[in-house]
Structure 1
Amino acid sequence: MRTRVLVAVAAVATLGTTMAVTAQSASAAAAGCQVSYTISSQWSGGFGANVAVTNLGDPISGWTLRWSFGAGQAVTQAWNATVTQSGAAVTAVNVSYNGTLATGASTSFGFNGSWTGGNPVPTAFTLNGVTCTGTVTPTTSPTATPTTSPTPTPTGSPATRTVRVFWLKPTDVTYDQRYPDGIAAVMREAQRYYRQELGKTFTLNNTVVEVVNGEHDRNWYITTNCTGGDHYWCVVGNMHQELMRRFGIANPDSRWLCVGEISAEETNQSGGGASTGWVVLSGHDADGAAGVNGPMNRWYGGMVHELGHAFGLPDSTSTDGTPMSASFYDYPNTHFSQAQKNAILAGPYGGFLA
C-alpha cells in the first residue's frame, strides 16, 4: 500500500499529555425547538463544544440561537455558524448552507472556547426568540457505559461511487456508540466542507459507518506484520488488509473511496495516513472523532486533509493556507487552492463528486 504520513502525528503525544478530557452534555426542549449542547473535549483553559439544533415548529428559512455562559467562558473559534459574543451573551446565526430547517429537521455547529474558573453547561436557549424550555441536566461521562457489541453492520455492498467508512473494533475493545456516531459526524462535516470548496461533494451511505468486529485483539494489530522496530504502519496496515479481504475491496477500488479507522494504537508508534482511494487511521483519530482526544476542529481538518490524499492530492511543500499542509490545524479557516480543486475534479475519484 502506498502511504502518506499524517502531518499531525508528531503532535499527538503533546496533546495527550496536556489535555484533561471530559464529556458533558445537556439538552433543552420546547414546543418549537430542541437543543443539545455537548462539551466534546476540555483542557487547561480551553474546550471544544458541539451544538445540535432541532426545529420542532413550523419550517424556518433562517435561525438564530442564543444562550448565556454562566462562568465567564468565551468563544474563540466557530464553524458551521457565525458566532458572536457580548459579555456572557452568545449569538449563533446560521450560515448559507444550513439555515433552512423543516419541521423535525436538525443541524449542528461547533466551536472552541476558553474558560478560567469553571465551564458549566448553559441552562437555557432560545431559537428565533422561542425559548427551548425543559430541564437541563449536565452530565460528566469520560467513559461511556458499555453496551453489547452488535454484529457488524455491513450486510451487503452499499451503493457504488460513494465514500465507504469503517470502524474496526478489536476483540478486546468494548463497543461504544460514541465511535460510530463521532466518525459519522466527522465525515458529514468533511462532506459539507468539500461542497463549500468545490461546489460538489461526495455521497455517504445510509449507514455512514459500518461497524466491523475485528478478528484479533489490539496487540495483534499493533505488533503483527511489522518491519523491524518500525510499528508506525502496522495497525492501519493490518486493518487495511482485513477490510479488503473480508469485504472484497481492492486498493484502490473503482467502486468506492474507503475510510477505515481502528481502535488500536501503540503510543507514539502507530500512525495513519492515506493513498489514492483509501484513508487509514489509528486509535487517536478514532478517539478524537468520538470526542475524547482534542478539540474537534483538529479532527475535522485532519479528515479533510486525508481525504484530499484519497482524492489524489499530494502534501503541500509549505504551510500555505490549504488543508494539504499543516494549515489544516486552523480548520475551518483553510481553503483548497484552485490548482488543488482542479486536481481533485480531474483525479481518479473526481467523478464521485456531485
Structure 2
Amino acid sequence: MAVLAATTVVAAQEAGAAAAGCQVSYTISSQWQGGFGAGVAVTNLGDPVSGWTLRWSYGAGQTVTQAWSATVTQSGTAVTAVNTAWNGTLATGGSVSFGFNGSWTGANPAPTAFTLNGVACTGGVTPSSPTPSSPAPSGPVPSSPTPGPSGSAAPKTVRVFWLKPTDVAHDQRYPDGIAAVMREAQSYYRQELGRTFTLNNTVVEVVAGEHDRNWYITNNCTGDRYWCVVSNMHQELMRRFGIRNPDSRWLCVGLISAEETNQSGGGASPGWVVLSGHDADGAAGVNGPMNRWYGGMVHELGHAFGLPDSTSTDGTPMSASFYSYPNTHFSQAQKNAILAGPYGSLLS
C-alpha cells in the first residue's frame, strides 16, 4: 500500500534546565473508504528523556480506533499517545515509532502541530541556558516583586500554584477551593495506597502573573491552541521559581485563571500537572459538581506520578471512570507503578 501523506514537524520539549527538542513524523501509510492506517516516528534531539507523551488534534473528525507500541487515547479532537513500559526511554538522537488505525469521513488531512511532554512545537532545540531575546512585554506589570528562584517550599512535597493574570481580581474562593481539592486528593491517595503525599506548608502559592489573560491564551500559539495557555503558565512558573521539568525536589501543580473557550485545557506528565480556567473555576465551586474536579485532580496526579491513561473505561481514575469519583479505584498494577515510579518517594 502506497504512502498517501506525510508531515514532519520539529517540537521542543520542556526548556527547564536541559536542552530539549524532537522531530515528529506522521505518515498515513494506507487509506480506504472510512478508514486509514498511520505511523508516527519521534526522534529525540535534546537531552535523554525517561518518558514521553505526544499530543495532537484532528481537524476533520478523524478517530483513532486501534494502536500498537503506544497507549493512544482520544477525547473529542484531542489525541494523546503515551509510551509503553518498554519504549519510554529516548537517548539523544534516539527514535521511537508507533502505529494506529483510524476512521475518517469526508477528509483525512495529516495533523501539522504536535506537543511533546506538554510543550507546543517551537521548531528547534531549546538550549540548556536560554537567553530571552524578546522585548519586554507591554501592558501592566504587577507591582509585587518577582519570587526568588527557589521560594520557601519544603523538598519532597507537592507544590501548588494559582497563577492570576494581571486583569483577574483576587478571589479567595480560588486558593481556598484549590487547597480543598488537593486535600481531597491527598485523602484519596492514602485510602488507595496506604500512604500519600505531603502538601507544602503554603498549600496554594498565589502568583501574580506577568501578563493579562489574552497574552497567556495567544502568546507562542501557532499550533495546538488547546495547550497554549497552560504552556505559557508552565514556562513562567519554571522561570520565576527555578523549577525544572521534571524536578525531583517537588511534584508541581499549576492552575491559571485564563482560558480560550473550547480550546484551552490541560494535562500532566511526570512531575507536573498544568490546568487552565475551567479547572480553577471548578475548584472554586463555580463550575459543575465537585466530584468531577476531585476525580479530575486524582486523574492528573496519577499522570504526574507516572501512570498512563487507561485504554478503556475500566473503573480506575486513569480512565473516564474518574467522573464517577469517589466510586473509582486504582488497580493493583497502578498502585504498584505509582509506588515504584519516579515520584513514589514522595509518598509516606
Q: TM-score band, normalised by the shorter chain?
A: 0.5 to 0.7
Partner AA of 2:337 in structure 1: A
Q: Which runs of 4+ in 1 moved over 3 A?
A: 1-5, 7-11, 149-155
Selected match of 2:241 from 237, 242, 247: 247
Residue from 247, 259, 281 that aligns with 1:287: 281
Residue 232 (structure 2) aligned to one of 234, 238, 258: 238
Change (3 A) 1:172 1:341: same
Report how far residue 9 of structure 1 moved: 7.0
Instruction: Note if 1:208 corresponds to 2:167.
Output: no
CA contact (8 A) 2:146 2:240 kept: no
Q: CA deviation at 1:227?
A: 2.4
Aligned length: 215
- 8 Å CA contact 1:172, 1:217 repeated in 2: yes
Whole-angstrom CA distance in 1 between matches of 2:144 and 2:283: 21
Q: Which residue of 2 aligns with 1:257?
A: 251
* Aligned 8 A contact 1:312 1:347 in 2: yes
TM-score (norm 2): 0.59
User: Any stretches of 5+ residues in structure 2 without a counterpart?
Assistant: 1-13, 15-51, 56-72, 78-141
CA contact (8 A) 2:147 2:240 kept: no
Taking the aligned partners of 1:308 and 1:226, their CA distance within structure 2 comes to 27
Matched, 1:191 2:164: no
Q: Which residue of 2 aligns with 1:26?
A: none
The corresponding residue for 1:331 is 325
2:169 to 146, 170, 174: 174
| Paired amino acid for 2:282 | G
Deviations 1:262-286 (CA, angstroms, capped at 9, x unpaired): 0000000111000000000000000
Change (3 A) 1:185 1:151: farther
- After superposition, what is the alpha-carbon deviation per residue over 1:262-319, rounded to whole angstroms, capped at 9, x for unaligned? 0000000111000000000000000000000000000000000000000000000000
1:281 maps to a residue whose letter is: L
Matches within 5 A, 1:45-60: none
Q: Write the distance in 1 (CA, Å) between the matches of 2:318 and 2:199.
A: 22
1:38 aligned residue: none
2:301 to 276, 291, 307: 307
Q: C-alpha distance in 2, partners of 1:243/1:207?
A: 16
Which of these residues, 134, 150, 158, is aligned with residue 153 of structure 2? 158
Q: Is the 8 A contact 2:314 2:321 kept in 1?
A: yes
| Conserved? CA contact 1:256–1:277, under 8 Å | yes
Percent of paired sites with the same residue: 86
Alignment RMSD: 2.2
TM-score by length of 1: 0.58
Aligned to 2:264: 270
Task: Tell me if the contact between 1:171 and 1:216 (Cα under 8 Å) persists in the aligned partners.
Answer: yes
Matched AA of 1:326 = A
Distance 1:8 1:259 in 2: 23
